[in-house]
């Protein structure tokens, strides 16, 4: 096997899905704190204030806020080299536009980073993971307003200054390309763009893409700041990468697959890595009648604030057909379009499982940018139960991870520069899209359920032990399966 020495094996999380303590330690409300739980089939509700009779999954989540020592000790036991987490913006700036930060919030992450350091675990920190303070949503329509750029840069400057000796790896926005999705408003509008209160309005691509432009500018500004002041930092983008396969070799299917993959999976990385909008996006916007307003200096900022490593999430691939008849009969979890790929199996939540697609993706991205890469999310969501002995026999997860990691190894042999991998998720946490606990991704089971009950006790799944062995052998144990 050929994983580099010092490969960053680890696990990932996000504050609004994991942390809880939503009104403790001076934290303000985030958009996520106003979105109730849903399920596989029922949708979630957005409220303007917290309602007594509704359950909001982010409020307690799986309570990292009170369990961080226990959880980080478990990560150390598994041999994690890296832990990806996000900082909760409204824990640092309760309204998002306060001048002075909330000291108690800053102290919480100091404690977390110190705990990581104790075990030699490298934190990989996302500045905004589906996380906008509710105040900014209500008063500014979230990222639709240009003013939010300054609030974000103030927030980023504050945490850079505070944690400059504790954190080296930063990611400016989680899955910034979520804003290109025309469906899944909870993710794209509610959580990513922070327009929670406007969710019931019809989709407005003009607004969505303008909000995304503001995020590009904000990202570039903080990358530039980091480069000038903190040369020890590594600044990365994060893309939800979903490759599109043509359903047949008909040129129209091939063309459609390329066009969709460009606008969904490549566009944002192109902007953040190359520092300018790619040609195909310009023509797409023209065709769609979308006009992105660049303020004076935006083009220069984008060019100066390009990232120095590329991270992405990888869960599935999609398959598309240009034939409306085929599309009509197809179904797919994401994007409202797409057909089933007859060569692939699906998860319970209809995600097509495709380990080889990961090797293809790694090669594609590396070919395009030649930047160091890290896979910061990869995993499988399953409804699962504890046995009477407090065990979870998740052989399906081991199988999923084993096959994906084997393809990473092949991609390394192909010559790509991959330096880390954090499984989604280290611990069971709330699902971002549905708000369910039932859809579990963790290596560690948390006794917590959709109705809000549960002791919050932690239990190691079989996959925990499997991953521990894999890390201990730096990937060699893959061969044993």
> What are the residue numbers of the active site?
175, 377
- Is residue 32 a contact residue for ligand BG6 (CB under 6 A)? no
Cβ distance to ligand BG6 smaller for residue 86 or 306: 86
The pair of structure tokens assigned to 276 is 């300018």
- What's the CA gap between 268 and 281, in Å, rounded? 10
Angle subtended at Cα 389 by Cα 385 and Cα 391, rounded to the nearest 5 degrees:
50
Place of tokens 């903080």: 222
Q: For ligand BG6, which residue of 68, 277, 424, 466 counts as binding (CB under 6 A)?
A: 424
Nearest approach in angstroms of CB 174 to ligand BG6 is 5
Interaction pattern, residues 216-255, with ligand BG6; x per rule: CB under 6 A: ------------------------x---------------
The pair of structure tokens assigned to 58 is 């982010």
- Is residue 450 a contact residue for ligand BG6 (CB under 6 A)? no
403 CB burial (10 A radius; 0-12, 13-18, 19+): middle
Cα separations (Å) of 374 from 7, 84, 208, 365, 417?
A: 10, 11, 27, 11, 9
- Is residue 433 a contact residue for ligand BG6 (CB under 6 A)? yes
- Is residue 439 a contact residue for ligand BG6 (CB under 6 A)? yes
The 3-state DSSP composition of the chain as helix, strand, coil percent (nearest 5) reads 45, 15, 40
- Is residue 34 a contact residue for ligand BG6 (CB under 6 A)? no
- Is residue 137 a contact residue for ligand BG6 (CB under 6 A)? no
- Is residue 36 a contact residue for ligand BG6 (CB under 6 A)? no
Q: For ligand BG6, which residue of 58, 102, 210, 313 counts as binding (CB under 6 A)?
A: 313
Nearest approach in angstroms of CB 438 to ligand BG6 is 11
- What's the CA gap between 292 and 320, in Å, rounded? 28
- Is residue 63 a contact residue for ligand BG6 (CB under 6 A)? no
- What's the CA gap between 466 and 121, in Å, rounded? 19
Start-to-end C-alpha separation, the chain: 13
- What's the CA gap between 448 and 37, in Å, rounded? 13
Nearest approach in angstroms of CB 355 to ligand BG6 is 17
Nearest approach in angstroms of CB 202 to ligand BG6 is 23
Q: For ligand BG6, which residue of 14, 32, 128, 176 counts as binding (CB under 6 A)?
A: 14
- Is residue 377 a contact residue for ligand BG6 (CB under 6 A)? yes
- Long-range contacts, stretch 204-210, CB < 8 angstroms, 24+ apart: 205/288, 205/290, 206/289, 206/290, 206/291, 207/144, 208/179, 208/180, 209/179, 209/180, 209/285, 209/290, 209/292, 210/144, 210/292, 210/293
Cβ distance to ligand BG6 smaller for residue 130 or 277: 130
- Is residue 423 a contact residue for ligand BG6 (CB under 6 A)? no
Nearest approach in angstroms of CB 433 to ligand BG6 is 3
Distance of CA 39 to the CA centre of its chain: 20
Nearest approach in angstroms of CB 323 to ligand BG6 is 29
All residues at 6 or more sequence positions from 136 whose CB lies less than 8 Å from its CB, including other chains? 95, 96, 97, 142, 148, 151, 194
Asked whether the beta carbons of 407 and 1 are under 8 A apart, the reply is no
Q: For ligand BG6, which residue of 20, 79, 101, 381 counts as binding (CB under 6 A)?
A: 381
Cβ distance to ligand BG6 smaller for residue 221 or 440: 440
**Residue 191 carries which DSSP code?**
I
Provide the 10 A C-beta neighbour count for residue 285.
17
From 112-120, 246-254, 429-437, 463-471, span contacting ligand BG6 (CB under 6 A): 429-437
Buried b (16+ CB within 10 A) or exposed e, 179-205: bbbeebbbbbbbbbbbbbbbbeeeeee
Cβ distance to ligand BG6 smaller for residue 266 or 439: 439
Nearest approach in angstroms of CB 340 to ligand BG6 is 19
- Is residue 443 a contact residue for ligand BG6 (CB under 6 A)? no
Nearest approach in angstroms of CB 423 to ligand BG6 is 11
- Is residue 67 a contact residue for ligand BG6 (CB under 6 A)? no
All residues at 6 or more sequence positions from 350 whose CB lies less than 8 Å from its CB, including other chains? 331, 332, 333
26 CB burial (10 A radius; 0-12, 13-18, 19+): middle
From 64-72, 303-311, 367-375, 427-435, span contacting ligand BG6 (CB under 6 A): 427-435
- Is residue 175 a contact residue for ligand BG6 (CB under 6 A)? yes
161 CB burial (10 A radius; 0-12, 13-18, 19+): exposed
- Is residue 186 a contact residue for ligand BG6 (CB under 6 A)? no
Asked whether the beta carbons of 239 and 179 are under 8 A apart, the reply is no
User: What SS3 state is found at 81?
Assistant: coil
- Is residue 87 a contact residue for ligand BG6 (CB under 6 A)? no
Number of residues that bind ligand BG6 (CB under 6 A): 14
- Is residue 174 a contact residue for ligand BG6 (CB under 6 A)? yes
Cβ distance to ligand BG6 smaller for residue 42 or 252: 42
From 26-34, 213-221, 241-249, 430-438, span contacting ligand BG6 (CB under 6 A): 430-438
Nearest approach in angstroms of CB 424 to ligand BG6 is 6
- Is residue 85 a contact residue for ligand BG6 (CB under 6 A)? no
- Interacting residues with ligand BG6 (CB under 6 A): 14, 17, 130, 174-175, 240, 313, 377, 381, 424, 431-433, 439
């Amino acid at each position: 096997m050929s994983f580099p020495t010092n490969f960053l094996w680890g696990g990932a999380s996000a504050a609004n899905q994991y942390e809880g303590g939503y009104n403790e330690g001076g934290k303000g409300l985030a958009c996520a704190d106003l979105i109730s739980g849903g399920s596989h089939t029922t949708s979630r509700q957005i409220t303007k204030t917290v309602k007594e009779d509704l359950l909001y999954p982010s409020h307690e989540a799986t309570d990292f806020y009170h369990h961080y020592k226990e959880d980080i000790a478990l990560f150390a036991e598994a041999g994690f080299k890296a832990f990806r987490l996000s900082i909760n913006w409204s824990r640092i700036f309760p309204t998002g536009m306060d001048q002075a930060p909330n000291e108690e919030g800053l102290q919480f992450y100091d404690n977390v980073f110190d705990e990581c350091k104790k075990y030699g675990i490298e934190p990989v920190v996302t500045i905004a993971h589906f996380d906008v303070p509710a105040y900014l949503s209500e008063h500014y329509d979230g990222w639709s307003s240009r003013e939010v750029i300054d609030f974000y840069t103030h927030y980023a400057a504050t945490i850079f200054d505070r944690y400059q000796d504790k954190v080296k790896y930063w990611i400016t926005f989680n899955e910034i390309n979520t804003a290109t999705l025309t469906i899944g408003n909870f993710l794209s509008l509610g959580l990513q763009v922070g327009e929670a209160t406007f969710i019931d309005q019809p989709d407005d691509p003009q607004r969505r893409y303008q909000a995304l432009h503001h995020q590009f500018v904000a990202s570039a500004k903080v990358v530039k700041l980091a480069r000038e002041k903190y040369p020890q930092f590594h600044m990365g983008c994060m893309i939800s990468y979903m490759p599109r396969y043509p359903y047949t070799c008909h040129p129209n299917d091939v063309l459609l697959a390329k066009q969709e993959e460009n606008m969904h999976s490549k566009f944002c990385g192109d902007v953040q890595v190359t520092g300018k909008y790619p040609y195909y996006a310009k023509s797409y916007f023209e065709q769609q009648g979308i006009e992105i307003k660049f303020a004076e200096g935006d083009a220069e900022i984008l060019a100066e604030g390009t990232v120095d490593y590329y991270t992405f999430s990888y869960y599935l691939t999609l398959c598309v057909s240009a034939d409306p008849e085929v599309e009509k009969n197809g179904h797919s979890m994401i994007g409202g379009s797409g057909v089933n790929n007859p060569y692939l199996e699906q998860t319970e939540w209809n995600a097509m499982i495709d380990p080889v697609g990961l090797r293809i993706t790694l090669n594609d991205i590396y070919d395009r940018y030649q930047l160091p890469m890290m896979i910061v999310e990869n995993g499988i969501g399953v409804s699962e139960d504890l046995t009477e002995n407090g065990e979870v026999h998740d052989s399906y997860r081991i199988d999923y991870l084993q096959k994906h990691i084997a393809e990473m190894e092949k991609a390394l042999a192909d010559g790509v520069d991959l330096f880390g991998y954090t499984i989604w998720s280290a611990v069971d946490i709330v699902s971002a899209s549905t708000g369910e606990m039932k859809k579990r991704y963790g290596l560690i089971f948390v006794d917590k359920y959709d109705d809000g009950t549960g002791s919050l006790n932690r239990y190691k799944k079989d996959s925990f032990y499997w991953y521990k062995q894999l890390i201990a052998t730096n990937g060699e144990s893959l061969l044993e399966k």
